[in-house]
Chains A and B, each alone.
With several copies, the nearest count.
Chain A
């Protein structure tokens, strides 16, 4: 493997999965806040479905989006199959339930009084929601990072929707899969170690960054 290819694969992994984690968080955290702060009929069902969604294999998600995005599919016109965009979209779908579940658990940990206290001090409902998020800042960060970890480590969606095209959509995990298929197991393990080292660095940077922002 050429170093340049490895760098490119790292870049693709971080870019697509980082973006997926961000977008998914912007969808999942408000959803979790809604679920955590309200009791309504069917809420358990929503949680059950979310929980089940987590069991969707990446290949199946890949297949679904493949059907949607392929030339003859309903969104074929977008022409995004086998691009990084497709990978990001699939990964968003993959990690949504994980971030929802994690964030929900995190937000339930916030005292119910946090919200009412914010309200009585004059916060709007939105501001009160933000207070709840702030009180759970750290576990929410863990949720987002868990989503990133899941996205950056998955291979099925990247394969199916990215196509593992060299120089375009080949990321670390598809490279690992390829090297493994070639029988280059050592390369695979080394690339895995690089991925983990990177993730460690990112986790560290994010957590320390947020801590010092206190």
Chain B
């Protein structure tokens, strides 16, 4: 098949009675067979929400979501077919009353897998999550990590075309977490299974994923390879900083030690013509540079690359471009608040 597994165009979603005006808006997203995508971003960014859309549990309120060449929401039969191929493991999984084996059997039953094949598939899946022989145990009284592993096995036993995982290793011990990553990579490589997982562990994202989608407040944040810096953090107790290049400090709030990766949302970066240096003040996170590239996109955004040994990507509303006095090759100043620096993870 040459179809994309998922193809999303301008997909929008809002909770009907949300406590806040959160909405998810994704201009475009394409996922192919065997691809592994990581969803990263702060709490409330919309990672879980996106996963429920990809699992066809919530229906987009706008835009086009095509799954394997079809609109899964056309009718209930389509939706059912789609859901049979894309299985979600939620971050706090629900286990049906009964035994672990009952839980793993459920998906096989609804798929009419013959009864005599089930024990083998169940056994294999439990082996993968390192709970061999746990079939007959009741699900009541499992520890947090044990429950998460059972849920993972329940999905793996179905050999789905797409595996959707919400913080799959958050409660799993570190060693097993690493081995689970290996299992996912292997299954994906061998069977072409597409995997989308959310994580707060940036190193896990970079280890496991082919691509990372960074979400913030329901929007994709475009980094390319820019706006994402690593370094060993130092701190004065109130603020911390890393120096991605000697002498260039990226400052963020709080007392942080150790190696960290941080990202800055392009929309949070102010760009000023170099002539207006006074406006930038002499606080932290002010960088001088030069515009190296400009793009204009449909959404009415201008993408400006600024280089000053580091490369940043910033966005400016098209309407403001003319007034800003910013154009290609012109020297500019960049400035952003320490509070708008996201620590995306610690990196080994």
Which residues from chain A sit less than 8 Å from chain B, CB to CB? 111, 113-114, 116-125, 127, 131, 134-135, 214
Question: CA A114 – CA B111 in complex, angstroms?
Answer: 18
Which stretch, B76-84, B171-179, B294-302, touches the partner chain A? B76-84
Counting chain B CB atoms within 10 Å of each CB, the highest count among A113, A120, A121 belongs to: A121
Which residues of chain B (82-107) have a CB below 8 Å from chain A? Answer: 83-84, 86-88, 90, 93-94, 96-98, 106-107
Q: List B contacts of A122 (CB < 8 A).
A: 80, 83-84, 87, 107, 110-111, 158
Given contacts A121-B110, A122-B87, A123-B110, contact A114 B158 (CB under 8 A): no
Interface size class of B (residues with CB under 8 A): 20 to 34
Query: Does B154 sit within 8 A of A, measured CB to CB?
Result: yes
Q: State whether B94 touches A111 (Cβ < 8 A).
A: yes
What are 28 A-B pairs at a CB distance below 8 A?
Answer: A113-B93, A113-B94, A116-B57, A116-B90, A116-B94, A117-B93, A117-B94, A119-B57, A120-B55, A120-B83, A120-B86, A120-B88, A121-B87, A121-B106, A121-B154, A121-B158, A122-B80, A122-B84, A122-B87, A122-B110, A122-B111, A122-B158, A123-B106, A123-B110, A124-B76, A124-B110, A125-B80, A127-B110
Q: List B contacts of A111 (CB < 8 A).
A: 94
Q: List A contacts of B106 (CB < 8 A).
A: 118, 121, 123, 131
Q: A113-B94, A121-B87, A121-B106 are in contact. List 13 more A-B contacts (CB 8 A).
A: A113-B90, A114-B94, A116-B57, A116-B90, A117-B90, A119-B57, A120-B83, A120-B87, A121-B110, A122-B83, A123-B106, A124-B80, A135-B97
- Give A120's nearest chain B residue, CB to CB: B88
Interface of B is mostly: mixed
Q: State whether B107 touches A135 (Cβ < 8 A).
A: no
Question: CA A28 – CA B127 in complex, angstroms?
Answer: 43
Chain A proximity of B57: nearest CB distance (Å)? 5
Which residues of chain B (124-161) have a CB below 8 Å from chain A? Answer: 154-155, 158
Which residues from chain B sit less than 8 Å from chain A, CB to CB? 55, 57, 76, 80, 83-84, 86-88, 90, 93-94, 96-98, 106-107, 110-111, 154-155, 158
Question: CA A8 – CA B97 in complex, angstroms?
Answer: 42
Inter-chain CB contacts under 8 Å: number = 52
Question: CA A127 – CA B76 in complex, angstroms?
Answer: 13
Question: CA A119 – CA B90 in complex, angstroms?
Answer: 12
Closest 8 CB pairs of A and B: A113-B94, A121-B107, A122-B84, A120-B88, A117-B94, A122-B110, A123-B110, A120-B55
- Give A128's nearest chain B residue, CB to CB: B110
Q: List B contacts of A131 (CB < 8 A).
A: 96, 106
Q: List B contacts of A120 (CB < 8 A).
A: 55, 57, 83, 86-88
Chain B proximity of A137: nearest CB distance (Å)? 8
Question: CA A111 – CA B97 in complex, angstroms?
Answer: 11
Question: CA A134 – CA B97 in complex, angstroms?
Answer: 9
- Give B154's nearest chain A residue, CB to CB: A121
Question: CA A127 – CA B112 in complex, angstroms?
Answer: 13
Chain A proximity of B101: nearest CB distance (Å)? 13
Question: CA A113 – CA B106 in complex, angstroms?
Answer: 15
Q: List A contacts of B107 (CB < 8 A).
A: 121-122
Question: CA A179 – CA B96 in complex, angstroms?
Answer: 51
- Give B55's nearest chain A residue, CB to CB: A120
- Give B88's nearest chain A residue, CB to CB: A120
Q: State whether B98 touches A214 (Cβ < 8 A).
A: yes
Q: List A contacts of B90 (CB < 8 A).
A: 113, 116-117
Question: CA A118 – CA B110 in complex, angstroms?
Answer: 9
Q: State whether B111 touches A117 (Cβ < 8 A).
A: no
Question: CA A134 – CA B88 in complex, angstroms?
Answer: 21
Q: List B contacts of A125 (CB < 8 A).
A: 76, 80
Question: CA A113 – CA B92 in complex, angstroms?
Answer: 9
B96 touches which of A116, A117, A119 (Cβ 8 Å): A117
Chain A proximity of B88: nearest CB distance (Å)? 4
Question: CA A123 – CA B96 in complex, angstroms?
Answer: 13
Q: List B contacts of A127 (CB < 8 A).
A: 110
A119 touches which of B83, B98, B111, B154 (Cβ 8 Å): B83
